[in-house]
Structure 1
Amino acid sequence: MRALVWHGTQDIRCDTVPDPQIEDDRDAIIRVTACAICGSDLHLYDHFIPAMKKGDIMGHEFMGEVVETGRGVNGALKKGERVVIPFTIICGECDQCKRGFFSVCERSNRNRSMAAKVFGHGTAGLFGYSHLTGGYPGGQAEYVRVPFADRTHIKVPDSLTDEQVLFLGDIFPTGWQAAVQADIQPHDTVAVWGAGPVGQMAVRSAILLGARQVICIDSVPERLDMARAGGAITIDNSVESPVERLNELTGGKGPEKCIDAVGMEAHSPRALEQVYDRVKQAMMLESDRASVLREMIYVCRPAGILSIPGVYGGLIDKVPMGAVMNKGLTIRTGQTHVNRWTDDLLRRIEDGQIDPSFVITHRAGLEQGPELYRTFRDKKDNCIKVVLRP
């Protein structure tokens, strides 16, 4: 089969690789009908996430048709069914899964001991996201083996197109969880840093959850245009100060809820801060750039909530914990518990409350994937979200 394969930093190729096979009774094989390039994939592309190996298949946002199942799937999936596959692999049986904390499943990460050395405890297995999360081949391919397939799936109706439901596997529930864990109240101002795909979903989720005012901060014109189309007030941080503008929009009090939809590769418009983080990162004195976190902590209203769906992989520097403590801020973060939210989100799509396909700007075949990784990373050609058709 054909798949997008990691060969090193900024080196993704469309290679011919062996077809996946059933390895466990709870496995299924999916023929991929649509997959996407996610902002989180760029952290692998730029090699900021450790434990990648040459030959790893990329991608964690995909869907398709069931073509084969192991005996242990026990009718939970049948050949020919359309499914979206969550990026989090879940057993459905451990203590964390039973509590709905699917992204920290205790059984699905086959390299759990490696993750425990880095994080203190292991977390769930993820598709196409380094050997730290299990080394599972990803979904930017013609076929995928899905472990624990009797639980790791979302069945979708034939009445909805692939593009309407594809993002149930990651960015839609990620934006939704970011908004839900911010505990949005009707009087709240919610500020979202980053108008990429997750930021766009967080903006619309905050509006669906009843926020009084949603503000989105970015510097890319087409992304700001898309956020405004979704109901947000926008701030272009390349020409105006987010802190000053947010205080102006909130009567000097700051937003009650702040969402970091950027993560570890944040760019600061403040030249000295950007140089500081870039140099520290280059010297391996920090792995992640924290400019968005610093700004959120500074501007958030006392007793507010910081919600962090943006991916961080290691260490950050100069985070003002004194401000976090003295302002009484709450921080909530984590990889997405995808299956906790998908029944509700699928209903909202069916009811016409939202069509997540609005975010797609580029469509192509798998062979164009390597080029589109560069286009997406460099924000060229007005690229916001790429969907590939194997």
Structure 2
Amino acid sequence: MIKLPDEISDDQAIAMSDIFPTGYFGADAAEIKDGDSVAVFGCGAVGLFAIVSAKLLGAGRVFAIDSKQDRLDKARELGAEVINYEREDPVETLKRLTGGIGTDRAIDAVGIDAQHAHHGEAAESGDIQTQEQEARSNAPDTNTSGDLWQPGDGPSQALQWAVEGLAKAGTLSIIGVYPPQFRAFPIGAAMNKNLTLHMGNCPHRKYIPKLIELTLANKVDPAKILTQSHKMPDALQAFEAFDRRENGWIKVELLPQT
């Protein structure tokens, strides 16, 4: 338990309890130094906080990779250069934007729910058959209902792109969740590029005091990531809209009745 100062709003506290520390952990694990270029794969709430945190740690350029335009728009608001993998190949784009070198650091904020590209250059160059086999192996029972949650159809896609898009001797931070049975990782490519890997679950207690300091100093406002606010009786409908990844539903706040 951590006592929050009265100056921390409820909206800020919501983000500080989990998604902000996780994003900061991902940026910290990426070993970001002043001026580094950083690729963040996945622009959900955790990925957005990874972008914020990379900037706080001194990153010179941050590239945000996703396919959802609302998430990319939010990433751009936070100062990232955005790449829609349904429109352009993220690896080729990262290399082009870094003079053919690749980024210094990469953060996988997606995990097992990664999607492969369905359109454009990235779709043409992807190994869709292998990705589909991985999906069947790692999520054989989906328990889906209508248009609600669907598992990712490219479980290792973010990892593949991250490793390919990194510069030699770069660092890959993995905070996206993978199940114990997941075994697909491009170890050969990572080893031959002398990459450093850091991954794991966030030790929230370690980071929250630092994030409180940054918030009180007006270096960051965690509440900016919240995109929806609904009353508790609307919780079911809110969860369903979030599950469908409807436009604008990135992080949802549920308000208790007063």
User: Shorter-chain TM-score category?
Assistant: 0.7 to 0.9
Greater shift in the superposed pair: 275-284 or 221-230: 275-284
**Match 2:163 to one of 277, 280, 297:** 297
Judge conservation of contact 1:215–1:234 (CA < 8 Å) in 2.
yes
The 5-angstrom pairing of residues 214-225 of structure 1 reads 214-225=62-73
Structure 1: gaps of 5 or more residues: 1-152
**Match 2:8 to one of 141, 160, 163:** 160
Deviation at 1:327, TM superposition (A): 1.2
Letter of the 2:163 partner, please give it: I
Structure 2: gaps of 5 or more residues: 118-122, 142-151
CA distance in 2 between counterparts of 1:174 and 1:282 reads 24
CA distance in 2 between counterparts of 1:277 and 1:157 reads 46
Question: How many aligned positions are there?
Answer: 236
TM-score (norm 1): 0.58
Judge conservation of contact 1:195–1:217 (CA < 8 Å) in 2.
yes
Letter of the 2:99 partner, please give it: G
| Equivalence for 2:172 | 306
SS of corresponding position for 1:256 = strand
| Equivalence for 1:79 | none
SS of corresponding position for 1:154 = coil
Q: Which has the higher helix share?
A: 2
Letter of the 1:298 partner, please give it: E
Deviation at 1:336, TM superposition (A): 0.8
CA distance in 2 between counterparts of 1:340 and 1:253 reads 34
| Equivalence for 1:354 | 220
Q: Percent identity?
A: 37
**Match 2:190 to one of 324, 331, 336:** 324
User: 1:134-191 CA deviation, whole Å, 9 max, x = no partner?
Assistant: xxxxxxxxxxxxxxxxxxx121122221002221111111111111111111231100
User: 1:330-376 CA deviation, whole Å, 9 max, x = no partner?
Assistant: 11111111111111110111111111111111112233222222211
| Equivalence for 1:136 | none
Establish whether residue 178 from structure 1 lines up as the match of residue 21 from structure 2: no
Deviation at 1:325, TM superposition (A): 1.5
SS of corresponding position for 2:64 = strand
Letter of the 1:330 partner, please give it: T
CA distance in 1 between counterparts of 2:183 and 2:196 reads 19
| Equivalence for 2:46 | 198
| Equivalence for 1:95 | none
Structure 2 vs 1, CA of residues 188 and 278 (structure 1 numbering), >3 Å: closer, same or farther? same
User: 1:1-55 CA deviation, whole Å, 9 max, x = no partner?
Assistant: xxxxxxxxxxxxxxxxxxxxxxxxxxxxxxxxxxxxxxxxxxxxxxxxxxxxxxx
**Match 1:208 to one of 56, 66, 83:** 56
Deviation at 1:283, TM superposition (A): 4.4
**Match 1:227 to one of 45, 62, 75:** 75
Establish whether residue 337 from structure 1 lines up as the match of residue 185 from structure 2: no
**Match 2:136 to one of 276, 279, 285:** 279
Letter of the 2:65 partner, please give it: I
Q: Which has the higher strand share?
A: 1
| Equivalence for 1:265 | 113
Deviation at 1:384, TM superposition (A): 0.6
SS of corresponding position for 2:135 = helix
Letter of the 1:276 partner, please give it: Q
Structure 2 vs 1, CA of residues 305 and 386 (structure 1 numbering), >3 Å: closer, same or farther? same
User: 1:230-249 CA deviation, whole Å, 9 max, x = no partner?
Assistant: 00000011111001100011
| Equivalence for 1:253 | 101
CA RMSD, Structure 1 to Structure 2 (Å): 1.8
Deviation at 1:329, TM superposition (A): 1.0
Judge conservation of contact 1:365–1:388 (CA < 8 Å) in 2.
yes
SS of corresponding position for 1:304 = strand
Structure 2 vs 1, CA of residues 368 and 317 (structure 1 numbering), >3 Å: closer, same or farther? same
CA distance in 1 between counterparts of 2:54 and 2:196 reads 18
Structure 2 vs 1, CA of residues 347 and 318 (structure 1 numbering), >3 Å: closer, same or farther? closer
Structure 2 vs 1, CA of residues 322 and 226 (structure 1 numbering), >3 Å: closer, same or farther? same
Deviation at 1:317, TM superposition (A): 4.4
Higher RCO structure (Cα 8 Å, ≥6 apart): 2
Letter of the 1:292 partner, please give it: A
Q: Tell me which structure has the larger Cα radius of gyration.
A: 1
SS of corresponding position for 2:169 = coil
Judge conservation of contact 1:290–1:317 (CA < 8 Å) in 2.
no
Deviation at 1:213, TM superposition (A): 0.7
CA distance in 1 between counterparts of 2:220 and 2:184 reads 39
CA distance in 2 between counterparts of 1:220 and 1:368 reads 24
Judge conservation of contact 1:176–1:205 (CA < 8 Å) in 2.
yes
